[in-house]
Every structure is written in C-alpha cells, then in structure tokens.
Structure 1
Amino acid sequence: MADDFSKVTGLPDDLGIEDDLRRSEEVLTVRTDTRRYGKAMTIIEGFEDGEDLRELASSLKRSLACGGTVEGDTIELQGNHVARVPDLLREHGYAVEER
C-alpha cells in the first residue's frame, strides 16, 4: 500500500504520508451507551483493521482524565465525552461523523 501512495504523490516513503492519508479517509462515529449501573460510556467506532488503537486510546484517556479500553476495533471511554472526543480525534488526523 505504501508503494501505491509513493507512486501517486511522488513523495518518499520515509515521510509516512500513507498513515495520514489513511486516517483522513476513515470516518469515525462517536456515540454514548449506558452500561452497568447506568454509567455512560463513549464508544468510538469505524477504525480499519490493523490500526494501533491502544496508543490512541491512551492519548484520549490522558486528555479526558478517564478510564477506558480497546474492544476489537472500537475504543470505549468511561463517561460521556461526546462533546470533546470529535475535536481530539480531529487533532489526531481522523474525520469524525457528527451525530
């Protein structure tokens, strides 16, 4: 896949442009869900397979001062953070669908 981008853009592979382009093409959705004991969870979905979500989840948890986990291809954050998460994801280069 990296070869495809370098042929199209003419830029060297060392720049890592393929990661930025892949992120910008993904459209993530952010929603809330109610879990055990009526606690709110913020769910982030729409990631492609093979993406390192643990690093992104860690960054989001630090920024939001909350707990959370990665379940398959989704990130789950404790609490209702729907208002702040889209902006944080955009800072990381992702496109977010507004709901």
Structure 2
Amino acid sequence: MANDKDDFSSITGLPEELGIDEDLGRTETRLVIRTEKRRYDKPVTIVEGFDTGEVDVKDLASELKRKMATGGTVHEGVIELQGDHRERVTEVLQDKGFAVE
C-alpha cells in the first residue's frame, strides 16, 4: 500500500484529510468588520480580508446570513450583510477560528 505524494499538504506536510491547512488559513487571516451607510441611511455590515484560496466565502456568507437572519451578498471576496451586525458577526467568526480586528 503506497502513499501518494499528493495526499500530503505542501504547507504542513501532514495528511490532507486532517484539514489542518484550512484551520491555519483561518488563524493567519485578519478580518476587518465595519459598517457603511447605504441608500436611505441603511447600515450594511462589511466583512473583508479573506484569503479566497483558503476560505469558501460564499458558504461562510450563507452561514452568517442564516445566523443573523438577514439578507446579504458576496462581492469580490467581501461579505455584505444588511443591517448593523458587527458584534454578532465578530463573535461567530471568532468561534469559527478567525482573527478579527
């Protein structure tokens, strides 16, 4: 039973199935959460700073929208959520292992 060289991470040297690279990507990524006023002075929470090669931003945006019970979108690797959700988004992302500024 020969191990294939492609089964090991080029970053950690550990087996890919452990999923360590994704965890490392999360801890090394510094996210910025801010709000902007948009049309009619409506607040929009902006989450940016993702390494799109390490994190599936669309899946994360779907999870955040579900947990915040709000609408939103992903545009050029940036998550935009309707409303001011800075505190709750920060908690959720930190619980998932992201470093938030």
Q: TM-score range by the shorter chain?
A: 0.7 to 0.9
| Alignment-derived partner of residue 69 in structure 2 | 65
Give the CA deviation at 1:52: 1.6
Aligned partner letter, 1:14: E
Offset, 1:73: 1.5
Q: 1:12 deviation in Å?
A: 2.0
**Structure possessing the higher radius of gyration over alpha carbons:** 2
Q: Give per-residue Cα distances to partners, 1:26-84, cap 9 Å, x unaligned.
A: 00000000011110000001011333211000000110100000010110000000111
TM-score between both structures, scaled by the size of structure 2: 0.86
Paired AA for residue 10 in structure 2: D
Matched residue type, 1:86: T
* AA in 2 matched with 1:3: S
Count of equivalent residues: 93
In the other structure, the counterpart of 2:43 is: 40
Unaligned runs of 5+ in 2: 1-7
User: 1:13-52 maps to which residues of 2 (within 5 A)?
Assistant: 13-50=16-53, 51-52=55-56
**Please, what is the CA RMSD of the aligned residues?**
1.4
Query: Counterpart in 1 of 2:3?
Result: none
Runs (4+) of structure 1 exceeding 6 A deviation are none
Contact 2:25 2:51 in 1 (8 A): no
Gaps of at least 5 residues in structure 1 are: none
The equivalent residue for 2:10 is 3
Report % sequence identity: 51
